[in-house]
Amino acid sequence: MNASTHRCGTVSLVGRPNTGKSSLLNKLVGQKVSIVSPKAQTTRHLVKGILTQADTQYIFVDSPGYQTLHRNILNRALNRRATEAALDTDVVLWMVEAPRLLDADLALLAKIPATQCVIAVVNKMDLLKDRTRLLPLLQAVSALRNFQAIVPVSARTGRNTDELLRAIRDHLPEGPSAYADDQLTDRDERFFAADLIREKIFRLLGEELPYRCEVVIDQFVEEGLLRRIEATIWVDRDNQKAIVIGERGTRLKSIGSAARRDMETLFGGKVFLSLWVKVKRGWTDDERALRTLGYG
């Protein structure tokens, strides 16, 4: 292989919820382009993160975690997205997490065609205090399929991510960059505004409620370096509205100010954010509502 050959290609990150796909994407591109939370199924949209090096442009595509519980229409749409992401790219990173494989890991792998170029990524190796446990896990992974490579990494510490990039590069097609050298993502500020609010909802609300919320940007106006943003958090029942707002509005205020701070860092300017909460009954199971929200 000629060392000066330029390569450019797409790489999808697929896996069970919570394996660290979005964290790894952010680590690889060196910027937070995809939202992260300790809860499963944080990611709902396909987000691209672009890493440009002298001889390679990697176009990573994050996807929602593939899950086998909670069969509502929203989750079926998310699963479709997760598997579609895996079909369309030059390389698929099938992500699992230490210390063990679960059935849902295997269920997703079974959906990736045998003809696809798949690299198995075993994330969270920092959690394996006892290193002797890594080898049996890698062996169990290698018994599943003929992977192009199996790479243990830690998205948290960045361990082994250079090795992963090298393994990916070998399987990217030759060609010029598809995006400008300084472009980090395919999404616009409006998208990030909504997703950052969603991230705070996942981080600041209880176990169930985040799955019942969606964020819609009603207005996004730029005035010089200032952005004026109005957004609505949709919930699917009346009692949820009170919970999101919190006593005397305190919870909504925390969500808003945490999201605003992240937006100001990402956009590099001041943000005025107004947040509203409204009820759209049963939206996670309403196909028409889901289509309006972009899950068509």
Ligand X SMILES: Nc1nc2c(ncn2[C@@H]2O[C@H](COP(=O)(O)OP(=O)(O)OP(=O)(O)O)[C@@H](O)[C@H]2O)c(=O)[nH]1
What SS3 class is residue 10? strand
Segments of 85-133 assigned E as strands? 91-97, 118-123
126 touches ligand X by CB under 6 A: yes
Out of ligand X, Mg ion, none, which partner does residue 240 contact, by CB within 5 to 8 A per kind? none
79 touches ligand X by CB under 6 A: no
Out of ligand X, Mg ion, none, which partner does residue 89 contact, by CB within 5 to 8 A per kind? none
What SS3 class is residue 286? coil
Q: Environment class of residue 270 by beta-carbon count within 10 Å: exposed (0-12), middle (13-18) or buried (19+)? A: middle
17 touches ligand X by CB under 6 A: yes
156 touches ligand X by CB under 6 A: yes
Residue the block writes with tokens 């060609």: 175
- Give phi and psi for 34, each to the nearest 5: -130, 140
22 touches Mg ion by CB under 5 A: yes
Q: If residue 135 lies in a helix (H) or strand (E), which one and from where to where?
A: helix 134-142
7 touches ligand X by CB under 6 A: no
- Applying CB under 6 A, which of residues 57, 154, 232, 284 lies at the interface with ligand X? 154
Out of ligand X, Mg ion, none, which partner does residue 23 contact, by CB within 5 to 8 A per kind? ligand X
CA–CA dist 104, 85 (Å, integer): 17
What SS3 class is residue 111? coil
Upper half-sphere CA count for residue 63 (Cβ side, 13 Å):
29
Stretch that binds Mg ion, among 16-24, 104-112, 154-162, 224-232 (CB under 5 A): 16-24
Stretch that binds ligand X, among 4-12, 119-127, 219-227, 273-281 (CB under 6 A): 119-127
Q: Could you tell me how far CA 295 lies from the centroid of its own chain?
A: 16
Stretch that binds ligand X, among 41-49, 144-152, 184-192, 206-214 (CB under 6 A): 41-49
Task: Draw the binding track, 56-75, toward Mg ion (x: CB under 5 A; -: no contact).
Answer: --------------------
For residue 221 the two structure tokens come to 């106006």
Q: Which residues bind Mg ion (CB under 5 A)?
A: 21-22, 42-43
Q: Which residues bind ligand X (CB under 6 A)?
A: 15, 17-23, 36-38, 40-43, 64-65, 123-124, 126-127, 154-156
